[in-house]
Structure 1
Amino acid sequence: MTEDVRFEVDGAIAVITLNRPQKLNAVTPEMADAIVAAVEECNDSDTIRCVIVTGAGPKAFCAGSDIKELDTYETPWEFRNRPDYCDAIRRLLKPTIAAVNGYAFGGGLETAMNCDIRIASENAQFAAPEIKLGWIGGGGMAAFLAHSIGPSNAALMIMTGDPISAGQALSWGLISEITAPGRLLDRAREIAKVIASRAPIAAETAKINLRAAYGMPLEKAIEYERDLQTICFATADAAEGRAAFKEKRQPNFRRK
C-alpha cells in the first residue's frame, strides 16, 4: 500500500480513498498497485458487502493518470499491459459506489463509471479530456458513456474533451444524485448501509446480471437473469429471507 491510497473498513463497508489531493488525486503506478491490492482484499472478504470509492479533498475525485508518469513506460506495449486501476475497480465483486467530489476527468471518470452507483457533490465536473493530449480513454470510456448518456452525448464529451457540470451529468443519467459537498460521503455511506443490509449473494449477483445485460439480446438477458435468480433462490440466505418474511422479523443474511 501507499499513503496516496487509503483503505478503510467499517463493519460491512469498505472505503477506498485516492489520497493525493495536492495533485488532484492523479493516479501513479504505485497508487494503481495499491488500488489493485485493496480490490483483492474486498473480493476475498466475506464481511465486506459494499465498497465506496472517493477522492481526498474538495477539488477532485480523480484527475486520471499522472501524465508525468506515462513517459516512464519503455514501450507502448508495456503501457498497454500495465496494472490498471479502472480494470481493478471493474473487477470488484461487491456493489460499488463512486462518491465524486470535484473533478472526475479521464481515468477518474472511467473509475467512477466502473462503479455501480455514482453520486456527486454540487461542484463535481466530468470530462474525457484525452483527445486534448492526442489519445483517447482506455478504461471503458466509450462503452460506459454510450450506455449511460447515449451515443450523441458520449461523442460530444469524447470528441471535444470539454467538461460537463454535475447538473448536466444528472440530467443525462451519468450520476444518480447531487449532494452538498459536505454531505457527499455521508450520503454514500447511507446508500452503502442499505445495500449491506440486503442479501449479499443476491447483491453480488445483481451486479453480475446488470453488467451482463449490457451486451446481451433481450431474450438471452432474461434467460440469463432467470438462471441467476434460480442460483440465488437455492442459497441459505434466500431460505432465511423467506423464513424471516413468514415470521415477521428482520433477516440475518450470512452470505451463504
Structure 2
Amino acid sequence: MSALFTTGRAFLSRAAKSAAFSRSLSGLPTYENIIVEKRGKNDSVGLIQLNRPKALNALCDALFDDVNDALDKLSEDKGVGCLVITGNEKAFAAGADIKEMQNKTFVDCASGNFLGHWGRVSKNRKPIIAAVNGFALGGGCELAMMCDIIYAGENAHFGQPEILLGTIPGAGGTQRLPRYVGKSLAMEMVLTGNRINAQTALSAGLVSKIFPTGRLVDEAIKTAETISQNSQLIVALAKESVNKAYETTLAEGNEFEKKIFHATFATADRKEGMTAFVEKRKADFKNN
C-alpha cells in the first residue's frame, strides 16, 4: 500500500508538472527555429531560446520571422512584463547564416530591404534581456545589442568579424557598438574582426553583469521577474526615455524626460506607487 501510495504521488507530481508546462506554453505556437516558454512567478517572463544548435544558432530570415512573431505574441500578453532572449551554452548566435546571403546581389539587398526586419527586436515596448553564453558574433552581437540589458556567461565572446568576409556589419554593429564601448574599441573590433571576452565586455560597458555559464539564464529570469513586478506602462515609458538618450542631445533628452515624467502623473499606477510608499505597503500596479 505504501509503495502504491508513493507511486501514485509521484504520478500526480509528474502530472502537475506537465500541466504547469502546458499552461506555460498556452497560446504560443511551436516554432522551427526557436523555443518559447513563460517562466518566473506567475509566468511573468517570456523566454525565447534560439534553437539552431547544429549551426551555432546562425541567424537567418526564417529565425527572425519566428522571433518577431513570438515577440508580437508575448508583447500582447498582459501577464508578461519582461522578455529574455538566449541561445545555448556554446553559442548565443555565432553570426548570420552566410549560406543564405552568399549569392545575393546589391539589387537583391537594396530592393528587398535585406535584414530590415531584424531590427524589430529593438522596437519592442517591453524590456528585453539578452543572456549571452558562448559566441555572440556578427549578427549575434548585433542582436544582443538590440536588447535593453546584456548579461554574459563567463564563456561569452563578442565580435563583429564581417570585415573578414569582405563586408561590414549590417544590423547596427557599426552604430550601436561605439555607443556601448566607445569609438576606439569599436573601431578595432570592426576593422580587425577581433573578439572580446566577457570580462573585457564588462569593463567596456557592453554587458552589465557576468555569471557562471550554468546560472546565466536563471539570473536573467530573476531580473526579468523583478522588472515584471513594476507597472508595465511605466516600464515602457522608462525604456523609451533611456533609449532617447542615444538619439538626441543632452538638452533635448532632458526635455523629453521631463515631459514623460509629467505624463506619469496622469496614470493610476503613479498614484498607487506613491500612495503605497507613504502607507508603507507593496504597490499593486494595474498597468494603467
TM-score range, shorter chain: over 0.9
1:27 aligns with 2:59: yes
Corresponding residue number in structure 2 for 1:67? 98
- How many percent identity over aligned positions? 39
Given the alignment, which residue of 33, 39, 43 partners 1:4? 33
Q: Which runs of 4+ in 1 moved over 6 A?
A: none
Corresponding residue number in structure 2 for 1:121? 153
Find the aligned partners of 1:108 and 1:82 in 2 and give their Cα distance: 13
Given the alignment, which residue of 223, 235, 248 partners 1:216? 248
Corresponding residue number in structure 1 for 2:10? none
Find the aligned partners of 1:144 and 1:83 in 2 and give their Cα distance: 16
Q: Which has the larger radius of gyration?
A: 2
Given the alignment, which residue of 80, 90, 107 partners 2:113? 80
1:52 aligns with 2:84: yes
1:150-171 Cα distance to aligned partner (Å, 9 max, x none): 0011101111111111111111
- For the 8 Å contact 1:35–1:88, the answer to whether it is kept is no
Displacement of 1:65 after TM fit? Answer: 1.5
Q: Structure 1 unaligned runs (5+)?
A: none
Corresponding residue number in structure 1 for 2:127? 95
1:103-160 Cα distance to aligned partner (Å, 9 max, x none): 0000100010011110101110000011100111111112211111000111011111
1:5-44 Cα distance to aligned partner (Å, 9 max, x none): 1121232110111011121101222111101101211332
CA-based RMSD:
1.5
Given the alignment, which residue of 181, 191, 194 partners 1:162? 194
Find the aligned partners of 1:82 and 1:190 in 2 and give their Cα distance: 32
Displacement of 1:185 after TM fit? Answer: 0.6
Find the aligned partners of 1:170 and 1:194 in 2 and give their Cα distance: 22
Partner SS for 2:214? helix
Given the alignment, which residue of 168, 174, 185 partners 1:136? 168
Between Structure 1 and Structure 2, how many residues are aligned? 254
Displacement of 1:233 after TM fit? Answer: 2.2
What TM-score do you get using the length of structure 1 for normalisation? 0.94
Given the alignment, which residue of 237, 248, 251 partners 2:280? 248
- For the 8 Å contact 1:39–1:88, the answer to whether it is kept is no
Given the alignment, which residue of 199, 210, 215 partners 2:231? 199
Q: Structure 2 unaligned runs (5+)?
A: 1-29
Corresponding residue number in structure 2 for 1:43? 75
Matched residue type, 1:14:
G
Decide which moves more: 71-80 or 88-97. Answer: 71-80
